[in-house]
Amino acid sequence: MIDISYVITVYNKAPYMEPMLNGLERQSGDFSREYIFVDDGSTDNSVEMIRERTKGWDNVRIITRENGGISVATNTGGFAASGEFIKIVDADDVLTSYASRRMLEMMREHKLDHLSAKWVLSDDVEAEALKQEDESGSVHIINDPLREFIKRGMAGSTSTMVRTSMFKEMGGADPEVFVQDVSIPLRVAGRGRMGSTDLLAVIGPRDVDGRMMGAHPTMVYTMSANMYHFLRDNPDVPTQLQRLAFKRCAGRAWKWAKREQKKSMFSKDFYLYLMAQLPIWYKTANWIKETLHTWDNEEIRHPPKRG
């Protein structure tokens, strides 16, 4: 079996790909590896760059598909993976030279299904990655990952590694949302063993077209949409966690409505926030679904509908 399958999703990232490819080539260690590039309908010369740059590399596959969003592209690569572990890589990020080897060691030593590492932003990702030499990172085991996810949230892409069998068993990322960063850790949290490490594994560009972080409406919406889909599909989640999830999602919606949309306490958003405080709910998926309407008039990126 191959040790690590790199799944690299690409959509019009030609300006950023040379440092990413350099980072892949620099990965130290004698583990076996395969590279699965998923071109998500790029209209620039991304695919040509990959073909030219990876000449001479072993075990390279390039999958081209109609544009469907990051989650769908990640699933295309993840379901094709034959390695023991999947290392997701965004096409604009750069791995530190020791990242894969050290994360592989941690995954095996602690029998993890998902590991999240540290990442930072930089104005010069290549130079910053080349400076990194401290590969001593420690591992923190997350004892109750679903509760931890609901209380504090988890997200990550290039900074994570996931066991391939777990990825396939849980159905990969949530295909109903555009971004995969949140749904993968949530789905693993419901059934797997998770950890985090202070190992610096990824350098990301500070300014990049299409990056969705923090207060971007797509990311805020996605956090609640993922939770709605998860509880809809897993209705036996303990009641206490269902209530906590409703509180978190209703609070997120009301905060957005008040700050970004200038809504008042007479709005539906505030009503749902109040309802979430009541300790009477047993199943909360449909309540969380109602909170999603806060973003009805925002520009949210969704996977393209087919057929």
Q: Where are the alpha helices (DSSP H) in 153-205?
A: 164-169, 183-189
pLDDT value for 212: 53
List 34's β-bridge partners, or say none.
Answer: 5
DSSP 8-state secondary structure symbol assigned to residue 15: G
∠ CA 84-86-88, nearest 5°, is 170
Q: Residue 195: which of 99, 137, 117, 135 has the closest Cα?
A: 117
pLDDT tens digits for range 225-254: 999 999 999 999 999 999 999 999 999 999
Q: How far apart are CA 29 and CA 16, in angstroms?
A: 25
Q: What mean pLDDT value characterizes the chain?
A: 94
Q: Is the pLDDT reported for residue 209 higher than 70?
A: no
- Residue 96 tokens read as 């530190």
Higher pLDDT, 58 or 306: 58
pLDDT at 206: 86
Total residue length of the chain:
307
pLDDT at 304: 82
Q: What is the pLDDT of residue 28?
A: 97
pTM: 0.93
For each of the domains in the chain, give its residue range(s) and CATH number, in order of start. Answer: 2-205 (3.90.550.10), 217-295 (no CATH)
Tokens of 64: 């081209």
What is the per-residue pLDDT across 112-157, written as a single tens digit (0 to 9) for each? 999 999 999 999 999 999 999 999 999 999 999 999 999 999 999 9
pLDDT the model gives residue 57: 95
pLDDT at site 193:
98
The Cα–Cα gap between 73 and 7 comes to 9
Q: Are 93 and 203 in contact (CB under 8 A)?
A: yes
Question: Inter-axis angle of helices 268-276 and 239-260, to 10 degrees?
Answer: 150
Quick one: pLDDT at residue 305? 75
Examine the pLDDT at 38 and tell me if it is beyond 70.
yes
Cα(75)–Cα(78) distance, integer angstroms? 5
Amino acid letter, residue 181: D
**Region 270-296 average pLDDT:** 97
| Res. 207: pLDDT tops 80 | no
- What pLDDT is recorded for position 211? 57
